[in-house]
Amino acid sequence: MSEHLVVERSGPVVVVTMNRPEARNALSPSMIVGLADAWEMIDADPAVRVAILTGAGGVFCAGADLKAMNSAVSADGAAKRFREDTGIAWRALLRSKQLAKPLIAAVEGPAVAGGTEILQATDVRIAAESATFGVVEVTRGLFPLGGSTVRLRRQIPYARAMELLLTGETITAAEAADIGLISRVVPDGKALDEALRVAERIAANAPLAVQAVKRSVRETEGLPETEALARELEIGLPVFATEDAKEGTRAFKERRPPVYTGR
């Protein structure tokens, strides 16, 4: 995908690894372009059911490499696309569009600034014990444009979100789990293993049903209850007419594992 991003596939699961350990996996133009392309590929390929985002070298992501972004003047294709496509960073950070398929974060080490911001676009979050999190932009005189002033407030309690946003302080994995920012904490070095286990469990389910559940959760957020429930019906009812729904019923009656095809 790019020199700063590794994309690996194992059956229905794709693992996307931010690969600049020497720079704490800070987001470079090459990585931004690679991420945007990876998300497009994942959603377009019907054989992919779940994606995992992680970082190399025991670090998740230290945010944007502002120096690299501001000096992206080389003639290589990634730098050119980064300069000319004004929306590519928002697509890479999943700010302008969410993945249709489940996305799991496997966090080792620091996930700060843009690292915590892209984390908020994931659905399940596994963190190692030594992982740390923070939206630190205000300490650098900057604004968290990755979506934290909107998403963080919706995902964790208001007072805790505001404390993190206004102080720029970092928190531990245990603290992040306590406030609901992450799903669970595992021993150091085991975040990806646990993420793969969860991904395999999700991938065993009917993909159209899984994607419809995610879509309903996303699209009904913030709606009045009556409107949200109506939207849930619009999204959920068609699932019952799929071949996978029929297969699930057959497999249950026949006491065997279902074989879902995404139809």
- 137 counts as catalytic: yes
- 40 counts as catalytic: no
Instruction: Please state the φ and ψ torsions of residue 183, each to the nearest 5 degrees.
Output: -80, -45
Instruction: Please state the φ and ψ torsions of residue 169, each to the nearest 5 degrees.
Output: -75, 155
| C-beta of residue 1 within 8 angstroms of C-beta of residue 40 | no
One of 3, 8, 84, 117 is an active-site residue; which one?
A: 117
Q: Of 91, 153, 169, which is closest to residue 120 (Cα–Cα)?
A: 153
One of 137, 169, 175, 247 is an active-site residue; which one?
A: 137
| Catalytic residue list | 117, 137
